[in-house]
Amino acid sequence: MQPHHTRSIFRFLAASLAVAVAAAPIGCGGGEGGDEQAAQLVAARDLHAVEKGSFDMVLPVSGELAAQQQVELRNKLETRAVITEIAPEGTRVSKGDVLVRLAQEELLDKIKDSKDKVNTANSSVIAAQQSLAIKQGEKQSELDKADVAVKIAELALQGWQEGEVVNKRQQLELAKETAGINLDRLKGRFEESAKLVSQGYIAKDEFEKDRIAMIEAEAKVKQAALDLEVYEKYTFFQDEAKKKSDLDQARAERARVEEKFNAELVKAQADLESANFQLQSAKDRLQNLEMQLTYTTLTAPIDGLIVYATSIDSSNGGRGGGDAQPPQVGTELKPNELVILLPDTSRMVANLKVSEALSGRIRPGQPVTLYSDAMPNQPVAGSVTTVSVLAASGGWRDPNRREYTVKSALEADPSLGLKPAMRCKAEILLGRVDDALNVPVQAIFRQGPVAFVYVQDGAGFAQRQVELGRSSELQIEIKKGLAAGDKVLLREPKSFEIVAKLDASVFEMANASAPGFGGARPAMNATPPEGASNGANPGAGGPPAEGRRRGGAGGPPSGQPGSGGPGNPGGRGRPTGAPTPDGQPQAAPGAGG
Average pLDDT of adjacent 10-residue blocks, the chain of 593 residues = 43 42 39 52 77 91 91 91 93 92 93 95 95 92 92 91 88 90 89 85 86 91 91 90 91 92 93 95 94 94 90 62 78 92 90 89 93 91 93 80 92 84 92 92 92 92 93 89 92 90 84 57 33 36 35 35 35 36 36 32
Q: At what angle do helices 165-199 and 204-230 cross, to 10 degrees?
A: 160
> What span, in angstroms and rounded, lies between the C-alpha atoms of 238 and 473?
124
Give CATH 2.40.50.100 domain extents, the chain: 78-101+297-342
Strand bridging mode 307-308 / 338-343: antiparallel
Task: Compute the chain's Rg from CA coordinates.
Answer: 59
372 close to 380: Cβ distance less than 8 angstroms: yes
Assigned CATH for 5-67+348-550: 2.40.30.170
Taking CA 483 as the corner, what is the angle to CA 479 and CA 486, rounded to the nearest 5 degrees?
125
For residue 104, give every residue at least 6 positions away whose Cβ sits within 8 Å of its Cβ, in sequence order, or none. 293, 296
> What span, in angstroms and rounded, lies between the C-alpha atoms of 544 and 446?
9
Assigned CATH for 107-294: 1.10.287
Give CATH 1.10.287 domain extents, the chain: 107-294
> What span, in angstroms and rounded, lies between the C-alpha atoms of 183 and 163?
30
C-alpha dist (Å) from residue 493 to 16, 19, 486, 497: 19, 21, 17, 6
Give CATH 2.40.30.170 domain extents, the chain: 5-67+348-550
Nearest to 481 by CA among 467, 496, 502: 467
Cross-sheet strand order for the sheet of 338-343: 70-74, 338-343, 307-308
pLDDT value of position 320? 59
> What span, in angstroms and rounded, lies between the C-alpha atoms of 234 and 240?
10
564 close to 475: Cβ distance less than 8 angstroms: no
Say how many CA atoms lie within 13 Å of 164 toward its Cβ: 14
For residue 406, give every residue at least 6 positions away whose Cβ sits within 8 Å of its Cβ, in sequence order, or none. 61, 63, 351, 352, 353, 354, 359, 362, 384, 386, 387, 388, 428
Taking CA 573 as the corner, what is the angle to CA 568 and CA 579, rounded to the nearest 5 degrees?
90
**For residues 358-372, b (16+ Cβ closer than 10 Å) or e, as one string?**
bbebbeeebbbbbbb
Taking CA 491 as the corner, what is the angle to CA 490 and CA 495, rounded to the nearest 5 degrees?
135
pLDDT value of position 79? 87
Can you name the CATH fold of 78-101+297-342? Answer: OB fold (Dihydrolipoamide Acetyltransferase, E2P) (2.40.50)
